[in-house]
């Protein structure tokens, strides 16, 4: 698929425009090197309006801020971008650092049913062997909270932001009164992400809006024999067209010594990446997650949110495959849940 930048390139500097087109958002830092040395004229070759204004600001030593439009000016309409609003990619969506903002969906499933309760979780590590089954009810509650904050704006020149994200998902045996309604599993997932605005034209109206690289830790915070955890290097790209977005992730696990690895075969079940497709249909949102594994392993998940009252939305979730939680990474099941959602993907 052929990718190119938006068509509003200047014609007076073809060599600079070619560099801009080939290098993407990071190449703009090279184009503006002359401006950083006090030469505002070097900024003229930058086609993107947001980047060109920032270049002029830096060339004259002024802290970069979006100037308000003149009172009499009519603001130019721009196509709204859900990915930009969520990740503050465009200058118009910047909100500064150290503000708590949504990341992944936040929801609660008041009822979540499984066709195969995992009463004897295990892994190839002998330290994880259970002496007797766990009392697990097939019906439970499940909730997820997720948020992020921007730590640093302008990682490479003016480009890229550093984000800290946190997601927590809990499975609560609230209806299992005979076993004192324990929390069966809680997953903790902090992430550190460098996110770059790209705005590449992918054709057919699609744009590669963002790229990111980061470090991800995921664990259930438990001791043996129920401890599960892994650490990953994450790469992610975000593609957008109107009310549709596609997030593509790839990861590489950091290997651990055999004696300390709670789940040495986790990559066989959870694979090396996933894709998240999201459609916004008026007040509804439909999302689909596919995570390929090996030898027919992996998983698929469908989520649907629909309006109930104002900002409160109903939430349906269907999952099938391996790894709905870390303790279930090598346990196959299908689950169905119904609840409410407070924050969607977009």
Task: Kindly give, in sequence order, each residue whose CB lies less than 8 Å from that of residue 221, ignoring residues fewer than 6 positions away.
Answer: 186, 188
Residues 6+ apart with CB under 8 A from 242: 205
Q: Which of 219, 250, 284, 334 is catalytic?
A: 219
Phi, psi of 334 (to 5 degrees): -125, 135
Reply yes or no on whether 250 is catalytic: no
**Residue 253 carries which DSSP code?**
E
Based on the residue annotation, tell me whether 159 is a catalytic residue of this protein. Answer: no
The CA distance from 335 to 58, in Å, is 53
Beta-strand ranges (E) seen in 224-325 are 229-241, 244-253, 273-281, 284-292, 298-309, 312-322
Long-range contacts of 301-308 (CB under 8 A, 24+ apart): 303/105, 305/105, 305/107, 305/341, 305/344, 307/283, 308/340
Catalytic residue among 64, 181, 217, 334: 217
Helix ranges (H only) for the chain are 14-31, 33-36, 49-59, 82-87, 266-270
Active site residues: 217, 219
């Amino acid at each position: 698929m052929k990718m190119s930048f938006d068509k509003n390139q200047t014609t007076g500097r073809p060599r600079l425009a070619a560099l801009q087109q080939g290098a993407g958002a990071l190449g703009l830092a090279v184009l503006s090197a002359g401006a950083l040395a006090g030469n505002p004229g070097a900024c003229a070759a930058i086609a993107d309006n947001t980047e060109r204004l920032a270049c002029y600001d830096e060339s004259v030593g002024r802290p970069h801020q979006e100037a308000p439009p003149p009172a009499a000016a009519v603001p130019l309409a721009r196509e709204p971008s859900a990915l930009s609003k969520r990740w503050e990619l465009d200058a118009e969506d910047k909100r500064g650092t150290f503000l708590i903002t949504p990341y992944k969906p936040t929801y609660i499933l008041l009822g979540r049913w499984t066709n195969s309760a995992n009463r004897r979780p295990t892994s190839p590590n002998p330290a994880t062997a259970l002496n007797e089954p766990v009392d697990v009810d097939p019906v439970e509650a499940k909730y997820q909270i997720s948020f992020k904050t921007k730590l640093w704006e302008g990682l490479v020149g003016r480009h890229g932001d550093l984000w800290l994200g946190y997601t927590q998902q809990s499975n609560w045996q609230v209806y299992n009164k005979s076993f004192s309604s324990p929390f069966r599993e809680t997953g903790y997932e902090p992430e550190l992400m460098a996110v770059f605005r790209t705005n590449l034209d992918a054709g057919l109206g699609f744009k590669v809006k963002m790229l990111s690289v980061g470090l991800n830790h995921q664990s259930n915070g438990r001791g043996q024999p129920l401890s599960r955890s892994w650490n990953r290097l994450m790469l992610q790209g975000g593609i957008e067209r109107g009310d549709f977005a596609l997030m593509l992730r790839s990861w590489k696990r950091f290997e651990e010594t055999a004696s300390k690895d709670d789940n040495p075969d986790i990559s066989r079940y959870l694979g090396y990446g996933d894709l998240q497709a999201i459609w916004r249909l008026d007040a509804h949102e439909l999302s689909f997650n596919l995570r390929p594994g090996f030898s027919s392993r992996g998983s698929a998940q469908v989520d649907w949110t629909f309006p109930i009252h104002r900002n409160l939305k109903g939430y349906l979730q269907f999952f099938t495959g391996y790894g709905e939680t870390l303790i279930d990474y090598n346990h196959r099941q299908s689950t169905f849940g119904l609840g409410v959602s407070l924050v969607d993907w977009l």
